[in-house]
Structure 1
């Protein structure tokens, strides 16, 4: 019986300290948000189809350069929002939500993300950036509770949601 060849140990970093694992604060908060929405829909506090119409855009993360080239050819674009709610409400055609982690772990909004938000806003969608999961929950609840869109002008964001930034 042949045993597989033993792997060489990874070289130590320059300081010879073990590498620290990167913690994905934004990804964890996005998971919390999606689970919260699922729970609201199951309990009946929000319409059940809201959870079914929400989807994530797996745009981030590090990939091998060859895979990145293939994904770009397939239509992946820089700056696209993290979550999309394909539910017309309040005069908007849908919601594009860019979620940033709660401070102090939040990242800056990239130029590509600002341009994407402005582009979808110009096309009749609501493109916003929410800082932290609590802000995102308030925004989602407000958006879902708006009347279904039927040609009326868009509803402006209320004052209590002004920390969510329109681009």
Structure 2
């Protein structure tokens, strides 16, 4: 206690730094690089740029999303995500746009060589399942192949019904449409 009756301030302990694992020779290992994630981010930036330039493939930007199924997580987070519906093998990118007779596109994205990971059996099964249900299912290895796939998909004719033909069928749930 100080003379004023106030206990002295405690200094917090220094922050703990995560200790990197070491190689056999004792040198620290380099942090792993997410080659696939980095390339996929570049792909999405490219798609946004194509949208801003008014290119046909850019129309897919607003309806393309990533399914965050991969990555390192703790066991408890992984278990919670599994309870919430995360499934093994789900493709990385989904394009929610019906074209060329397909209901949409599921794209499994892999990094360019030499960083290409093998296609897991669960990923192969998911692509087959998507294709059997009327979706275009594609494995794209590398940025350039993924761009080519998206350009080709965007060039297909739209198979959405016209707005005048649109008749939503109510199967329950809470109404979300305005008016």
TM-score, structure 2 normalization:
0.79
Which runs of structure 2 are paired with 1:6-85 in the superposition (5 Å)?
6-7=14-15, 10=19, 13=22, 15=24, 16-46=26-56, 49-85=59-95
1:136 aligns with 2:136: no
Cα deviation 1:115-161 (Å, max 9, x = unaligned): 0000000000011100111000000011011001259xxxxxxxxxx
Higher relative contact order (CA 8 A, sep 6+): 1
What is aligned with 2:111? Answer: 101
Count of residues paired in the alignment: 151
Q: TM-score, normalised by structure 1?
A: 0.84
Q: 1:89 aligns with which of 84, 96, 99?
A: 99
Structure 1 residue 8, shift from structure 2 partner: 5.6
Matched with 2:173 is: none
Give, in angstroms, the shift of residue 11 of structure 1. 7.4
- Measure, in 2, the Cα distance between the counterparts of 1:124 and 1:148: 15
CA distance in 2, matches of 1:28, 1:11: 22
Specify the structure having the higher radius of gyration (Cα). Answer: 2
Distance in 2, matches of 1:3 and 1:36, equals 48
> How far has the Cα of 1:47 moved from its partner?
5.8
- Counterpart secondary structure, 1:112: helix
Is the Cα contact below 8 Å between 2:89 and 2:122 reproduced in 1?
yes
How far the C-alpha of 1:57 sits from its partner, in A, is 0.4
Superposed CA RMSD in Å reads 1.8
- The 3 A distance-change label for structure 1 pair 82 and 3 is same
Give the equivalent residue in structure 1 for 2:131.
Answer: 121
Equivalent-residue separation in structure 2 for 1:81 and 1:5 (angstroms):
44
Q: Whole-Å Cα distance in 2 between the matches of residues 6 and 37 of structure 1?
A: 43
